[in-house]
Chains A and B, each alone.
Chain A
Amino acid sequence: MLKNYIKIALKVLGRRKFFTFISLFGISLTLVVLMVATTVLDNVFAPRAPESKFDRVVGVYRLGMYGPNFNSTGNPGYRFIKEYVLGLPGAEATSVFSNQSMLAMYHEGRKIDTHLRRTDGAYWQILDFEFVEGGPYTEADNENASFVAVITDDMRTKLYGRGVSALDKTFEADGQRFRVVGVVRAVPITRLVGFSEIWAPIRTLKTREYERQWMGGFGGIVLARKRGDLEALRSEFKRRTSAFVFDDPKMYNRIEAGLDTPFESAARNLLGNQVKGNRALVLQLILGGMALVFMLLPTMNLVSINLSRIMERASEIGVRKAFGASSRTLVAQFVVENIVLTVIGGLIGFVLSVAFLAALSRAELIPYAVFDVNLRVFLYGLLLAVFFGLVSGVYPAWRMSRIQAVNALRGGAL
């Protein structure tokens, strides 16, 4: 029966080429836009290498300090991370690292624009980089302020040429000479904690000024033993920071910070500390709302096209009813027709998305990012296609079922 339905549906769609084209155009391009957006979001926020353990990692990426005359929000300083994040009870591991800073290197008379991040040793345990050669530096290297560095394979090519081993070779950055101990696979710039092109121990910073600053330039992460521990860690952090002692209470007397997932951190950045409660949920709702509004137009478009298709076929429907088709079979036929249409549109959209994302990766608009459509995103897309089919088919079908055979046959209306 269903096979029959689908066969008829394909025939009808083939006959109405213009409308089939409009519908397919709308469905597939809407899906492309949504799939590309989901893929980019997935690429930024989902746990993937080197942040594959980030389903149980939370971090402090933003600190707000408030006082009667001054407000200051930004990245936390080293001192804050050291005193309130490092060694948080109950955590499997904790780490402190600087923001990646932009850096111009002058290597053998060439200028190389790159990024440098300084980290402690634990950073390498919480993140799982894929080492092409060598390995990470250790906390002992950090303690001793050893001038050692990890670089990406891309950086290795820029410094020493393609395929040349970099181990124990040196380079100069910001007036300091580092020895390469490890080379990792390049990381997309979209990774909040994982991205950089050169990594070096924190202690290699030129001055120790950073050790006394509450604000600026650093971040800290906490790895939980299991996902269930995250809440306990958050409340422990809250308990600790509530006892924050202010250097000068006349200047600042209140701080705002929390252990965030990367998505929660984005929500905190976009919505600000003022929005209380579940900021991540708010951001999700906003994004979902945008997607809904975005889908509204294509849906309305499909509904109106479908409606006019039905009205055009009113007399055909009348004939069918007169020959004994029940309303239900007609509605079923129409809904099947519509779902066939949207699934075809979905497939086209899927192919187009894959092509577009491949082009996007190749264009290197976002350095080192590789956008592949994963299964999850594909399932979202499929779900959307079916949703489209239902929404745009059901109302017209309902209208169709109410067409009276007599009226439809008489066609009396002009």
Chain B
Amino acid sequence: MIRLENVNKVYRTDRVETLALQNINLDVAPGEFVSVMGPSGCGKSTLLNLIGLLDAPSSGGLSLDGASVAKWGDGRLAQFRNEKLGFVFQSFHLVPDLKVVDNVEIPLLYRKTNGTPRRKLAQAALDRVGLASRVHHFPTQLSGGQQQRVAIARAIVGKPRILLADEPTGNLDSAMGEEIMDILHDLNKKDGTTIVMVTHDERFATRTDRIVRLFDGRQVA
């Protein structure tokens, strides 16, 4: 499903070169739930961004769903993100000026879905994360856990094959974290969604199929 071969990522500013990822090889099978662990600044988020096509590797090969993405242009990348990928972020990233349901609809805006089915899909996604009653609230009126559930609803509304979660429980207390993990597991088991999750929390990591550990840009396990 996801394959990285000898991937390097270098950040250059005018003076300094930082090697964020070094020689990463990773293979994630369809339906697998992988967690990525490591201390701050070890390159976890960079790895996730590469897989999420938000950033390009400096060298090495990346293929998603059997296709190499190296030569893809901006439009193709965007389309792939829209159809095959879903994102959940540590700080939720909900648009404050939009109601919950409008936030969830965002991915559908970038494909050819009409208003009524769009609304239905969004409702269904919110239902799935247990927020059907909060459809017309603004994000600021919700608790952190609720906001993260909205973000998950938004990530899955387009039925992606791959879900990328960047410390989804990082800003939540453990009870709420458990709730989020339950939803992710549910998605993984019932829908067969491939999930890559970056986390700090050993407890949540152990609940996944496999743990990838990074240290200073290197894969250590």
Contacts and interface: CB of A to CB of B under 8 A. Distances in A.
A412 B89 CA distance: 13
A414 interface: yes
B120 interface: no
A157 B96 CA distance: 77
A413 interface: yes
Interface in A377-414: 412-414
Contacts of A413: 96, 140
Interface residues of A, number: 3
Interface in B61-108: 91, 93-96
A414 B95 CA distance: 6
B98 to A, nearest CB: 10
A414 B98 CA distance: 11
A294 B169 CA distance: 55
A403 to B, nearest CB: 14
A21 to B, nearest CB: 27
Contacts of B94: 414
Contacts of A414: 93-96
Nearest to B92: A412
B77 to A, nearest CB: 22
B202 to A, nearest CB: 27
Contacts of A412: 91, 96, 140
Contacts of B95: 414
Nearest to B96: A413
Nearest to B144: A412
A414 B96 CA distance: 7
A406 to B, nearest CB: 12
A176 to B, nearest CB: 82
Interface in B157-186: none
Interface string B48-71: 000000000000000000000000
Contacts of B96: 412-414
A212 B94 CA distance: 88
Nearest to B93: A414
Nearest to A413: B96
A412 B93 CA distance: 8
Contacts of B91: 412
Nearest to A414: B95
A413 B94 CA distance: 8
Nearest to A410: B91
B172 to A, nearest CB: 14
Nearest to B91: A412
A412 B91 CA distance: 8
Interface string A21-56: 000000000000000000000000000000000000
B44 to A, nearest CB: 22
Interface string B121-141: 000000000000000000010
Interface string A164-199: 000000000000000000000000000000000000
Contacts of B140: 412-413
A413 B93 CA distance: 8
B142 to A, nearest CB: 11
Nearest to B147: A412
A255 B198 CA distance: 94
A350 B140 CA distance: 48
Contacts of B93: 414
A268 to B, nearest CB: 56
A295 B140 CA distance: 38
B85 to A, nearest CB: 20
A117 B140 CA distance: 79
A412 B171 CA distance: 12
A413 B98 CA distance: 11
A14 B24 CA distance: 45
A407 B93 CA distance: 15
B185 to A, nearest CB: 28
A414 B93 CA distance: 6
A412 B95 CA distance: 10
A413 B92 CA distance: 10
A414 B140 CA distance: 11
A51 to B, nearest CB: 62
A412 B140 CA distance: 9
B208 to A, nearest CB: 28
B26 to A, nearest CB: 30
A291 B94 CA distance: 45
A299 to B, nearest CB: 26
B89 to A, nearest CB: 11
A76 to B, nearest CB: 68
A413 B95 CA distance: 7
The list of the 3 closest CB pairs from A to B, nearest first, reads: A413-B96, A414-B95, A414-B96
Given A414-B93, A414-B94, A414-B95, 6 more contacts: A412-B91, A412-B96, A412-B140, A413-B96, A413-B140, A414-B96
Interface of A: 412-414
9 contacts: A412-B91, A412-B96, A412-B140, A413-B96, A413-B140, A414-B93, A414-B94, A414-B95, A414-B96
